[in-house]
Amino acid sequence: MRAGKSLPGRPDDLTDSPELSVALADALNSETMDVLSELLKVVRLDSAIFFNCEFSAPWCYRAPEAECAARLLSQDGRHVIIYHLLVRGRAYVHLQDGDRVSLQAGDIVTLPHGHAHFLGNGDGGAVIDGATALPRLMARGLDLIRVGGGGEPSLFVCGFLSCDAQLARSFLQGLPPVFKVNIREDPSGQWLENSLRFAVDEAVAARPGASTMLAKLSEVVFMETVRRYVAGLPETETGWLAGARDPAVGQALFLIHQRPGHPWTMPALAQEVGVSRSVLAERFRHYLGQPPIAYLTKWRLQLGARALASTNRSVAEIASDVGYDTEASFNRAFKRHFQSPPARYRTASRQSSARAN
């Protein structure tokens, strides 16, 4: 995979390039992406490319489920989203009992819920078990790996994003088990693909900053695939992503995720959004199945749970940060939601983390 090093106008450091800034802006140029961007700041995505492989027909690769992938990718306790970019050739993808989805060059197939799945081309090839093969493939770094039966080649760049499973649940629920988009349909997508391929080559050559470049581009790739997926949703669709596309609901979600500790009330939120309370409540229920303040309450408690598990800050400090007037009111709400008081939840979370490590 050596194409890309001669790309015209390619700056030495992609992380500071104006083209990357444009790509980021394009990926975030709608209300939906503004809301998702605000959420992802808190979800804290980690990302990387984990292999660069040319399969030749016939071949079949069985990718493990997210929990197994998380261990193999040193992401224990995190939810792993896998994606595969088909750079050249043809292929298919399907879940364990699902129908085959055909892939062509330029397609990115994303598995947001981490289901085990199969990639392949042709029939009769030996199945490569990712649960056992992935450590060996990853040990090769990003050097191009060639495997398969020697026929028609299919060139893939495969990456992952890991995130806090609990905090990411909101938008992940709005995504199907597997979906594909093609990024060669317009100049911005073509630039993104070429930049990703260039960055892989830089990593292979062990150039300074290459891993940071890949991480940034992986996040942009994910944002772009979600943007294109959301753009194709029918108007009748419901769920978090469809709601984020609605002007009133999207703005309310943005405000909730941007300022979760603010003393929001329904009148204050509706006034900020610029619609009546009844309209906001109706639109929010239509898309998310609950009132805005109920959604806010759950989000605050999820943020509190993350802080309990990952910091040494006191329960009172955490309660104040996520919008509770008193530690006692936070304790009551937390226990109702998680069936455990905050102190006990913190202890159990740390014990679970220690066992995992």
Q: Where are the alpha helices (DSSP H) in 205-291?
A: 210-231, 240-245, 247-258, 266-273, 277-288
pLDDT of 333 > 90? The answer is: yes
pLDDT at 221: 83
> Rounded CA gap, 310 and 71, in Å?
19
**Domains of the chain by start residue, with CATH:** 14-231 (2.60.120.280), 246-356 (1.10.10.60)
Q: Could you tell me the strand order of the sheet in which 127-129 lies? A: 101-104, 90-95, 117-121, 59-63, 127-129
pLDDT at 18: 44
What is the average pLDDT across 205-233?
Answer: 81
pLDDT band with cut points at 50, 70 and 90 for residue 109: very high
Q: What is the pLDDT of residues 27-66, one digit of tens each?
A: 444 556 678 888 877 877 777 777 789 999 999 999 998 8
Give the best-scoring range by mean pLDDT among 136-140, 224-228, 297-301. 297-301
pTM beyond cutoff 0.85 = no
Cβ–Cβ under 8 Å, residues 74 and 186: no
pLDDT of 211 > 80? The answer is: no
